[in-house]
Structure 1
Amino acid sequence: MSVDAVLDIAAAVFLIAGAVLCLAAGVALVRFPDLFSRMHAAAKPQVLGLLLVLIGCALRLRSGVDITTLVLVGVFQLATAPVAAHMVGRAAYPDEQTRSDLLLTDELAGHLDRITQHRQDDPTPS
């Protein structure tokens, strides 16, 4: 078996595993009951699935310019997905769209009055 054949098989495995993780993340977004579970499903398996797909593409393409582009896509995804999930959670918390009975630690509870007051004082329409 040649090196190209082994790399093609490895690329296929990475592509299929990444696609399955992305599919699982999409199903979880529809099926999970609360906001925090959905945020977890949107951030973690989706990012890992994308990274596996990018690795599979890099193994298949084997070109320096293409691999550099794939690395940039992966880095930007790793940098933005957790921040976006964090901001969605912070924005949804004051609207009581979370299930507090599932939280082990509620670090924002002490700040809820300040957040609510800031929203009432803000003259911009929502």
Structure 2
Amino acid sequence: MTGTEILDWISVILLLLGAALSFAAGVGLVRFPDLLSRMHTAAKPQVMGLVLISVGLGLRLFPDPRVGFLFLVVLFQILTVPVASHIAARVAYRTGRVRRDLIGVDELEEQLEPR
């Protein structure tokens, strides 16, 4: 096997792993019972799946200068998805759309109690 064939196989494996993680995130959105669990599965595996897919594409398209755009996409997703997920969860908590019986430790309740 040549070096190009090895990189092709590595990129195929990374693409399949990324697709599997993205698929698992989609299944979790349908299967999990409450909003916070769904948000967790929408944020964590989706971003990791995107990273794996982007690395696989980057290995496949390496000499192409457009590989830098893949890096920017991954960086933007890593920076924005956790922040957006946190803000959406906090809004859901404040508006009462969270099932409190499924929360193990509720540290936010002490901070939001009326004074």
TM class by smaller structure: over 0.9
CA shift, 1:95, in A, is 2.1
Please list every run of 5 or more consecutive structure 1 residues that lacks an aligned counterpart in the other structure. Answer: 115-126
RMSD between aligned residues: 1.3
Check if 1:52 corresponds to 2:44.
no
Report percent identity of matched pairs: 48
2:107 match = 107
Check if 1:89 corresponds to 2:56.
no
2:68 match = 68
Deviations 1:32-58 (A, max 9, x none): 110110011011000000000000000
3-state secondary structure, aligned to 2:107: coil
- Counterpart residue type for residue 20 of structure 1: A
- Counterpart residue type for residue 87 of structure 2: M
- Counterpart residue type for residue 23 of structure 2: L
2:22 match = 22
- Counterpart residue type for residue 14 of structure 1: L
1:117 match = none
Q: TM-score, normalised by structure 1?
A: 0.84
Please list every run of 5 or more consecutive structure 2 residues that lacks an aligned counterpart in the other structure. Answer: none
3-state secondary structure, aligned to 1:65: coil
Q: TM-score, normalised by structure 2?
A: 0.92
Distance in 1 (CA, whole Å) between partners of 2:65 and 2:38 is 35
Which is greater in Rg?
Answer: 1
1:79 match = 79
Distance in 2 (CA, whole Å) between partners of 1:3 and 1:101 is 54
